[in-house]
Amino acid sequence: MHHYQRTVLNSITLLILAVSFALLILHVRQQRYPLSDLNAFLCTTRTVTSVQPGNFHADGNIVLDFKNKRITLQYDIITAQQIKKVLYRDVYIKNLKMPGAGIYTFDVDSVKVFSTDTAGDFLAHFRLLHPGAANEIRVTRVGNSTYLYSINRQIYNVCTLQ
């Protein structure tokens, strides 16, 4: 191989390595901060679950809406005694911060309980999304518009970005 051909080959190899390294850095940054625009994050999920400690079945939706600073919970709950309750609440959040990669902390500003809500304090034992409580949402990107999240490490689910 002639000297100039070796130089061209080395240059192309170094260029490919540099481009690969730049793309790797971009990918790592995107994974490290999964929500590039925190104020535009709107993610919805559908949940059907049986909760063994409480011995009830829940079927409903959670909407994480960081733009309007709220989390909407809308569930039909059926107890072991076949009593149907409706949980329908908007939890308004404030002081949304990002202390680490994919971790978001917030305070509960207020909770709006809709007139159709018949759950009362049924879910109070979860200590979840109450004013005065320390709250955290962990978000991990798992697809183009799909995220795995946890609320206070008690509710885990996958949601789709809107």
pLDDT tens-digit map of 84-131:
999 898 989 888 888 877 888 888 888 888 999 988 876 666 666 777
Selected residue with higher pLDDT from 54 and 139 = 139
Contacts 24+ apart (CB under 8 A), 87-92: 87/58, 87/60, 87/117, 87/119, 87/122, 87/123, 88/113, 88/114, 88/116, 88/117, 89/113, 89/114, 89/117, 90/114, 91/129
Computed over every residue of the chain, the mean pLDDT equals 82
- The answer, yes or no, to whether residue 81 has pLDDT greater than 90, is no
145: amino acid identity, one letter: S
Q: What confidence category does residue 67 fall into, taking pLDDT thresholds of 50, 70 and 90?
A: confident
- The answer, yes or no, to whether residue 36 has pLDDT greater than 60, is no
Percent of the chain with pLDDT over 90: 10
Q: What confidence category does residue 38 fall into, taking pLDDT thresholds of 50, 70 and 90?
A: low
Q: What confidence category does residue 16 fall into, taking pLDDT thresholds of 50, 70 and 90?
A: very high
pLDDT of 12: 93
pLDDT of 17: 92
Q: What confidence category does residue 6 fall into, taking pLDDT thresholds of 50, 70 and 90?
A: confident
Asked if 78 and 87 count as a contact pair (C-beta separation under 8 A), the reply is no
Q: What is the DSSP string of 79-99?
A: ETT--EEEEEEEEEEEEEEEE
| Mean pLDDT of the 53-82 span | 87
Give backbone dihedrals phi and psi of 101, rounded to 5 degrees, phi first.
-65, 115
